[in-house]
Chains A and B, each alone.
Chain A
Amino acid sequence: MAKRIEVSGLTAYYGTHKAIEDITLHVEPRSVTAFIGPSGCGKSTFLRTLNRMHEVTPGGRVEGKVMLDDEDLYGPGVDPVSVRRTVGMVFQRPNPFPTMSIYDNVAAGLKLNGVSYRKSELDDIVEKNLRAANLWNEVKDRLGKPGSGLSGGQQQRLCIARATAVEPEVLLMDEPCSALDPISTLAIEDLIDKLKSQYTIVIVTHNMQQAARVSDRTAFFNLAAIGQPGKLIEVDSTDRIFSNPSVQATEDYISGRFG
């Protein structure tokens, strides 16, 4: 488990609009990499190219290369469905399946692609992942109740449990705490810290303190002007980015002088 991501020369479009241009970076396994940058610079777009979710958007198109260890995600004959299985995703707004119970939400990914598990196996996996998501104690007595009945923070942890239950190699998180209160945010940050021993984690955040707290490496994205494609400005260890970045724009952004 946990693979290294190597992106080279990646450009993504929405129809004719070029959203991000020529991005080259790598993401280390068993570590947390944070994406920061002003709104509209293409962080979400870039994140979604890493599990081939970008092409789900009408008009979405990608050029360039994404390697997961030695597998080319955009290679000919690669099935996007299996890519998404390997590269899990947690969204900005908690989105548990409203028609399913808490239990079924966690088990949802396991029932896909014609795989079938015994009930006892499923029970174990559900418990293990809810525990890992620090949610087990809060929901163990109501596993049969709908997931939409939980609080926002609990729902987000449920979504993380759902994503980890299929044992992906990589976990992508797009502003997972932006809809949550500070307590739930801390709970999720603890969780991320715990998960990084097993997964390659990429997290998009607008919260500088959060990036500083949870990530090992930080990538700063920016765009020259509105309507211009977003670009990677620099990527380095988080300590370095927050203490002594090599590009002036990064320092300006971090110290809140723009963006």
Chain B
Amino acid sequence: MPATNKNTTTRLGDRVFSTLSKGSGIALLVIMAAIALFLAIRAVVAIREDEGNFLTTFQWDANADPPVFGIAVLLFGTVVSSVIAMALAVPVAVGIALFISHFAPRRLATTIGYVVDLLAAVPSIIYGLWGALYLVPHMTGLFLWLDQFFGWTKVLAYDGTPARSLMTVGILLAIMVLPIITSVTREVFLQTPKANQEAALALGATRWEVIRMTVLPFGRSGVISASMLGLGRALGETMAVATVLSPSFLIDPSLLESGGGTFAQNIASQFKEAGGTGRDALIASGLVLFVLTLLVNGAARLIIARRREYSGANA
């Protein structure tokens, strides 16, 4: 019978498709597990040979005999530069996204949106070169000014040497992640239901109140996701940081003066000269960066999930 015939062919199609997708899913998991296992073994080997404390040592002599290295400076530098980047980029990105989605006339909004998307596609080495050649010399004035008023805090002290510091890196990272955060945030803001914005207007809300009542709460989880996307990029950024930063394995209390390092930058700078243990040590530091990224993403997911009922997704 033709009906049955047709039926079995669809079933066959289903079966082929499900086998294929199941197969590729499993293959992916196996490959990832293999990579993780390889990295974990190398990392454990390195940490065992480490004569210092892997977490607290302010030193990276992984090729020496005996090897002494620790990630304290890298962890500090990575976290601090990314926090600076997010603190600067997220508010500005939300502002630009709001301007594009709710304030600018349509023509201007489209143009700005286009430029922002274009900026997101610039390779990071270009940002790195621009940072080293333009941003570093131009930071001196700002940093001297900061030193004048906040130098007593030690954190913002500055001696006028070239500003190849964590603060400059943070500012550069902020500029680098700004486009992607802006672009995603703008999309989310544009999704705010018109019915809700009109409801707010009809209650007698001003334009800003409409944004506060509807656009911002509606876009909240989207802004968090966009920020995580940016943060992921900032945490892992390699070339731009390596180009701008003048690394050292001391923690200088001042964020404005040269020194410090990040995981990704350290791997890029050291990998070529590293011997066996040196490479394993770098792999171990890379795994820490991976765990850090996972933790950050997990935290973001928790924040989003906690208010899912109110997300507007079921409206």
Q: Residues on A close to B: CB < 8 A?
A: 51, 53, 56, 81-82, 84-86, 88-89, 91, 93, 95-101, 108-109, 112-113, 145-146, 148-149, 159, 162-163, 166
Asked if B193 lies at the interface with its beta carbon under 8 angstroms from chain A, I say yes
Are A97 and B196 touching (Cβ within 8 A)?
Answer: yes
- Nearest CB in chain A to that of B206: its residue: A81
Quote the shortest CB–CB distance from B205 to chain A (angstroms): 5
User: Which B residues lie at the A interface, using CB under 8 A?
Assistant: 193, 195-196, 198-206, 209, 213-214, 217-218, 220, 309-315
Residues of A within 8 A of B198 (CB): 53, 56, 91, 95
Partner of B204, one of A84, A101, A145: A84
Least Cβ–Cβ distance between A10 and chain B, in angstroms: 19
Q: Are A95 and B204 in contact (CB under 8 A)?
A: no
A53 partner residues in chain B, CB cutoff 8 A: 198, 201-202
Partner of A88, one of B195, B202, B217, B313: B202
Partner of A109, one of B195, B203, B214: B203
- State in angstroms the CA–CA spacing of A10 and B279 once bound together: 79
**Cβ B312 vs Cβ A112 within 8 A:** no
Q: CA–CA, A96 to B214, complex, Å? A: 10
User: Nearest Cβ in chain B — how far from A146, in angstroms?
Assistant: 5
Q: Which residues of A contact B201 (CB under 8 A)?
A: 53, 56, 84
Chain A residues near B315: list those with CB within 8 A: 96, 98, 148
Asked whether, in the complex, the Cβ of A98 is within 8 Å of the Cβ of B314, the reply is yes
B311 proximity list for chain A (CB < 8 A): 98-99
A86 to B203, CA, bound (A): 9
Q: Which residue of B lies closest to A93 (CB)?
A: B195
Bound CA span A95–B198, Å: 9
In Å, the complex CA distance between A96 and B310 comes to 11
Instruction: Check if A113 sits within 8 Å of B204, measured CB to CB.
Output: yes
B203-A163 in contact (CB<8A): yes
Set of chain A residues within 8 Å of B204, measured between Cβ atoms: 81-82, 84-86, 109, 112-113, 166
Distance in angstroms between the alpha carbons of A5 and B199 in the assembled complex: 22
Partner of A113, one of B193, B200, B206, B309: B206
The residue that B218 contacts in the complex, of A93, A95, A99, A162, with Cβ under 8 A, is A99
Check if B196 sits within 8 Å of A108, measured CB to CB: no
Tell me, rounded to whole Å, the shortest Cβ–Cβ distance linking B33 to chain A.
40
Q: Can you give 5 contacting A-B residue pairs, CB < 8 Å?
A: A84-B201, A97-B217, A100-B310, A112-B204, A148-B312
Q: Are B310 and A108 in contact (CB under 8 A)?
A: no
Q: Taking CB as reference atom, which chain A residue is nearest B314?
A: A148
Shortest beta-carbon distance, B156 to chain A, in Å? Answer: 36
Q: Which residues of A contact B310 (CB under 8 A)?
A: 98-101, 146
Contact B312 A108 (CB under 8 A): no
Q: In the docked arrangement, what's the CA distance between A146 and B217, Å?
A: 13
Task: Find the B residue at minimum CB distance from A95.
Answer: B195
Rounded to whole angstroms, the CA-CA distance of A148 and B307 in the bound complex is 13
CB distance from B117 to the nearest CB of A (A): 23
Q: Tell me, in angstroms, the Cα distance from A84 to B312 when the chains sit together.
A: 25
Known: A99-B310, A148-B315, A149-B309. A166 touches B203 (CB 8 A): yes
How distant is the Cα of A149 from the Cα of B220 in the complex, in angstroms? 19
Our pick among A99, A101, A109 for the contact of B312 (Cβ within 8 Å) is A99
Across-interface contacts of B309 in A (CB, < 8 A): 145-146, 149
